[in-house]
Structure 1
């Protein structure tokens, strides 16, 4: 038996056979071609086949995770772009080489040129180009894409996986996922969390593991290779206990979110698209604490129209009924970009013109979203919050725009509610003036993902910092407490909507701080509810 220690990104236990997955490096030989016209035609047919497959994959996966599924649409558009097609066809014509070789060399040259750049947008574009190039090479070479997991469920082991590869696989056949590269906040990990599959990262695999029996412990981050009889028996018992615990958790779907001593806590869901609404209702969340509205702006060719936004928010309001649904205004910029936004290149986009800063620069876009939200507010219990607020001057500008929006709606006699508003606390600056900001709105919601990286001066997606990045850092926890106390001094509520809100090891700590609400991904609602209901704050009050 061999034991490997990694990092768990989603909990659970799995026992089964390993399937070692490899993307495969195709050794494409350079062949001089005499019929250039036919070679270009073969490339175009391969491109059409790839585009059709990508659109098919988007339709099959959009109900699971719309945000990640849009990757397929983005890749299809990249394939259809004139610049990509012209580069390949130019290589075929000028160098008189076969299509597969032309695709491979263009891919490799591009990767080599930009491989040292760290900007998230460029890294994402390079990743997309690698994936569509590999897809084309597989089609042109007649090779099948290896996504068949076989007849029996398996533990998938790989050096790295992209969200695209995960979505192409049969989800029913995945017991667990083990990767060498990745992090808790990588897109692949987010996808496996959405699918509720136990996942480990930071374990270097070996292709000789293929077919071996393994145990994945998604609670401790441990993998046992060829476990002995004693360990296997122990984990079979734990697996059954885990299954029963999950069944017990499902019984909490209709239970109240309150501590043993009767303290009521708001437990809400974070979602990125309308397809997540069914999960919110299934797990019995009190409402939606964070709708990431920026995803309505991504994966498209132009700005969404006001009516398009209105109908989406109207559906949200009607579906949630009296339950609160908080829409975060568009947090665009940094790694959330679309070509039509035409955001100038920045040396450090994560510290750049993003969130409310971009919205205040583009008032026409911002007003359209605000009008859509206020129009939809007549159909349910909507609320709204603003991302990346750093100053009261920003709030002055927002309030002025809102007054203009309301005046326009009044003039046209369009009904709306005076909805509750909130501010995302995501920077140390916002923490330090949180009492002043609390006076301007109804609630504060702490975005710990950005707050942690800005406080520690660490990019949370930088793989070189994965062992140093610490969202439990005392400075981060003290800042959370500061925000809660500042909000309460102004009789406002304060909660947490970052990933750390789902960390049940900290639930009691948060409640002791006086946190009023937590907002987590739907799959984490029941474990957090259990942790809330097991907490007793009576001794603290006494």
Structure 2
């Protein structure tokens, strides 16, 4: 069980790391690097980023740190870098789409991460991946920067993991193909749910459609986990669902490998998981994916909890 790192300011970073250690977290499941960009008045330099990644890796003392590359766009705007105005920015020019288009910024971040990798257990994941070609293009840039650093004599860890966030239905449906090429998946449920249900969870008029237990969502998650395990790959989840007491029993039954949540949720979730039998949760999960509605799944979980 790991926690989600929300802020990148150095003092806040160290405070959060201390809190996570006390809560029994086993690593950082989501290092949101966009805050390095948001909490600055300029594009962070390679050295500035390197120092932040190094600090996190050293503070975790060998525990895994999963770093998400820059996820700017949508509701994450920068005062010093004006992105094109779009009618639907959440489905527009953001995250990996920016990184691949303006790869000088992406390369700077990757170099900083590669340099920091020798200080701990680094996992790198790309956000908003929709197609295999996007992953391949991102990986190619990563490999080019890695090879360039090695040729210059820079030491780089040889155990870096490279994966993707599964938050777009297209990548979830094609998980069996992605699993052949990535080292791991991290399911981003907040976006996966709203994109699958075509409903903005911040819109009160359609918020009823934000249904994390809808069998359609559960079937996508089941497919992602099974696809990864068929290729002996690792599956994490970051998002509110990972610490949701209704969802946790189902996710246990589906075989999710890692639950990433806020530090304050770690102990309650750990306590809940210890009270559950995996064999019972497998039965619950199988029944849940075959329900018809979100409410039926909730009722089913409650019946198991009595």
TM-score normalized by structure 2?
Answer: 0.87
Which residue number corresponds to residue 6 of structure 2? 272
Alignment of 1:13-162 (within 5 A): none
Indicate whether 1:528 and 2:262 are aligned.
no
Residues 299, 338 of structure 1: 8 Å contact kept:
no
Deviation at 1:342, TM superposition (A): 2.1
2-structure distance, mates of 1:341, 1:371: 21
Deviations 1:339-373 (A, max 9, x none): 32221000100111111111111101001111111
2-structure distance, mates of 1:348, 1:289: 28
1:286 match: secondary structure: coil
Which residue number corresponds to residue 184 of structure 2? 443
2-structure distance, mates of 1:284, 1:540: 23
2:133 match: secondary structure: helix
Which residue number corresponds to residue 170 of structure 2? 429
2-structure distance, mates of 1:468, 1:366: 35
2-structure distance, mates of 1:434, 1:421: 15
Which protein shows a greater Rg? 1
Deviation at 1:539, TM superposition (A): 5.5
Deviation at 1:399, TM superposition (A): 1.8
Which residue number corresponds to residue 200 of structure 2? 459
Deviation at 1:455, TM superposition (A): 0.5
Deviation at 1:333, TM superposition (A): 0.6
Indicate whether 1:518 and 2:252 are aligned.
no
Deviations 1:293-319 (A, max 9, x none): 101101432200000000000000110
Which residue number corresponds to residue 506 of structure 1? 247
2-structure distance, mates of 1:312, 1:495: 23
2-structure distance, mates of 1:351, 1:308: 30
Residues 199, 207 of structure 2: 8 Å contact kept:
no
Which residue number corresponds to residue 291 of structure 1? 31
1:494 match: secondary structure: strand
Residues 294, 329 of structure 1: 8 Å contact kept:
yes
Deviation at 1:541, TM superposition (A): 7.7
The size of the alignment, in residue pairs, is 276
Residues 253, 279 of structure 2: 8 Å contact kept:
no
RMSD: 1.5
Indicate whether 1:472 and 2:205 are aligned.
no
Which residue number corresponds to residue 369 of structure 1? 109
Indicate whether 1:410 and 2:144 are aligned.
no
2-structure distance, mates of 1:406, 1:536: 44
Alignment of 1:100-499 (within 5 A): 267-273=1-7, 274=13, 275-418=15-158, 419-499=160-240
Deviation at 1:538, TM superposition (A): 3.8
* Structure 1 gaps, min length 5: 1-266
1:269 match: secondary structure: strand
Moved more, 532-541 or 457-466: 532-541
Residues 65, 123 of structure 2: 8 Å contact kept:
yes
Deviation at 1:529, TM superposition (A): 0.4
Deviations 1:473-501 (A, max 9, x none): 22111111111011111111112111111
Deviation at 1:467, TM superposition (A): 3.4
Deviation at 1:469, TM superposition (A): 2.3
2-structure distance, mates of 1:319, 1:347: 41
1-structure distance, mates of 2:183, 2:144: 20
2-structure distance, mates of 1:503, 1:509: 10
Deviation at 1:388, TM superposition (A): 0.6
